[in-house]
Each structure stands twice: as structure tokens, then as C-alpha cells.
Amino acid sequence: MIDEYRDKKIDEAGIIYTVFKSSVSQKATRLNLLPAHVEDGAAKPTDMPYTNFEPSVEEVLDNAAIRLIEVQIWQALLESLASEHSMRMVAMKSATDNANDLIDDLTLEFNTARQAAITQELAEITNGAEAIK
């Protein structure tokens, strides 16, 4: 990817991922990988004291850029995984709550039907006893 950017085959490279905010809130975010964004207040190359680099400055910067991109992609993957697991957890809790509500409703309906059948049987027994008198 860096070679394509350097050879001007691509203008920029980015990644879109979900950022975990809370268990009920995630946010889709786009992160530019190339060109790298330098924050205001960062040290400028002219501010740094003279230093000898071995290997060359270009090799050091290339390796640092590759490592930075790898870490940014890894962080995006971890954020997306955390968001996915959180949403699965919320969905499973909701499904469990709905299943428990359904069980409660069906139990109540079953008990009502059973009570009606028992009442019907008692009424038949009582009517049978009255008919015998």
C-alpha cells in the first residue's frame, strides 16, 4: 500500500470501522491511513537536533510508517470486534428477556385453561350429585 501511494497509484488509503462507545452505542468512523495526518503542535523536522541515522532516514521512516499502519489497522479491528461482541450481548439479552416474557404469558394461559377445566369438572360433578338427589 505504501509503495502504491509513493508511486502515486493511489491518492489516499483509509479504513472504515465501528468505534465502541458503550454497550448500546457504536459509531462508524473513517480513519485516513495515508497520507498520515500530523497534529498541530507536533515536532517539525527543523525543531529536532541533528542526528545521524543508521540505516538511512528513509528506511527508518518507511519501517515506522508500515508499523504505524499495521497498528492502526489492528486497533480498528479490535474496536470493531468489541462493537460486534457488545451488540451480540445486547441482542442475546433482549432475546432472553423476550423468551422469559413469552414463557410467563404461556404459563399464565396454561394455568388459566387448567383452572377452567377443573372448574368445569367440579361443576359437572356438582350437577351430577344434584341430579341424583
What angle (nearest 5°) sits at the alpha carbon of residue 46, between those of residues 3 and 72? 40
CB atoms within 10 A of CB 26: 19
CATH assignment, 2-38+51-99: 3.40.1380.10
- What pLDDT score does 132 carry? 86
Cα–Cα dist 65/35, whole Å: 10
Write the pLDDT tens digit of every residue in 5-56: 788 888 888 999 999 998 888 899 999 988 877 666 655 556 666 677 678 8
Write the pLDDT tens digit of every residue in 75-102: 999 999 999 999 999 999 999 999 999 9
Write the pLDDT tens digit of every residue in 56-78: 878 888 898 899 999 999 999 99
Cα–Cα dist 118/133, whole Å: 23
| pTM passes above 0.75 | no
Domain boundaries, the chain: 2-38+51-99
